[in-house]
Amino acid sequence: MKIIWVFLFVFLSFLFFFLSEVVYPFNETIRFDVFNNVKKINYLRKEIRNYQKIIEKKRKLLRQKKEELTSFKKESNNDEYYCVVDLFSQVLYLKKGEKIVGEFKISSGSGKILVAPFGKKWQFVTPKGVLKVLRKIKNPVWYKPDWAFIEEKKPIPPSDSPLRRVRGILGDYALDLGGGILIHGTPHEHLLGIPVSHGCIRVEKEGIKMLYDSLKIGAKVYIYGK
C-alpha cells in the first residue's frame, strides 16, 4: 500500500513538473495557432504569386528589348543610313552599318498634358518604336494646330487662316515620320538635351542638315526610352 502511495506521489510530481516546465512554456513560446498560421501561409503564397507575375513581366520586357537589339543588329549589317534615338539620354545617333556617323543632342516630347476649355486633351510625347522617313522637307512651314493657340491662350483661328502658317520655327530642314511627328531644326538650340518639345524631335542646325542629306525616304528611325 505504501508503495502505491509512493508511486502515485512520484507520478503526480512528474506530471506536475511536465505540465509546468515543459507543456506550458512550450505553448507560451510557440503560441501555436492553427488559424493564424493558415492565414499567414495563404498570405505568403499570394505574395509569391504576385512576385512571380512581376518577374514574368520583367522577363517579357527583357525579351522585347532583346528583340529590339537584334533588330538593330540586323539593320547594322547593311550600308544604309538609319537613326537610333535615345530618349533617356536625349541623343540621336546617325548610323551606317555598325558605325556611328553622327551624334546629336535632341529635344523630344515633354510628356506634359494640355486640356482645352472645351475638354479636349493632348499629351506631348514622342512615340517609341520603329518609324520611317516618309518625306524630306526643305524650308518647312509649320501649320500651327489648335493646341498651340490654346497653349498661348489665344483664340483659335479658322483652318485656312494665315496665322496658322509659321516659318522658321522648324529650322531649315525636316524629316516627316508620320502622325505629325518630325525630326527638324530649331531656333531654340539652348534647350537641346532637355525634353521640351510637343512630340517632335528637335536637332541642331548642322545635325538636321546632315540627317537630311544622309537619310533616304524609307530610312528607319529606332526610338526607345521613357
Strands (E), 126-193: 129-132, 135-138, 141-143, 165-167, 173-178, 181-184
pLDDT value at residue 26: 47
Question: pTM for the whole thing?
Answer: 0.65
For residue 180, is pLDDT > 90?
Answer: yes
pLDDT value at residue 17: 54
Could you report the per-residue pLDDT of 123-149, keeping only the tens digit for each? 999 999 999 999 999 999 999 999 999
Could you report the per-residue pLDDT of 33-89, keeping only the tens digit for each? 555 666 677 777 777 777 677 777 767 766 766 566 566 555 555 678 999 999 999
Could you report the per-residue pLDDT of 93-114, keeping only the tens digit for each? 999 988 999 999 999 999 999 9
Percent of the chain whose predicted confidence (pLDDT) is above 70: 73
pLDDT value at residue 172: 96
For cell 533617356, what's the residue? 88
pLDDT band for 169, please (50, 70, 90 cuts): very high
pLDDT value at residue 30: 46
Could you report the per-residue pLDDT of 2-42, keeping only the tens digit for each? 566 656 666 666 665 555 555 455 444 444 455 566 667 77
pLDDT value at residue 167: 94
Residue 200 carries which side chain, given as an amino acid letter?
Answer: C
pLDDT value at residue 8: 64
Q: Which three cell numbers stand for residue 76?
A: 547594322
In this prediction, residues 212-217 reach a mean pLDDT of 96
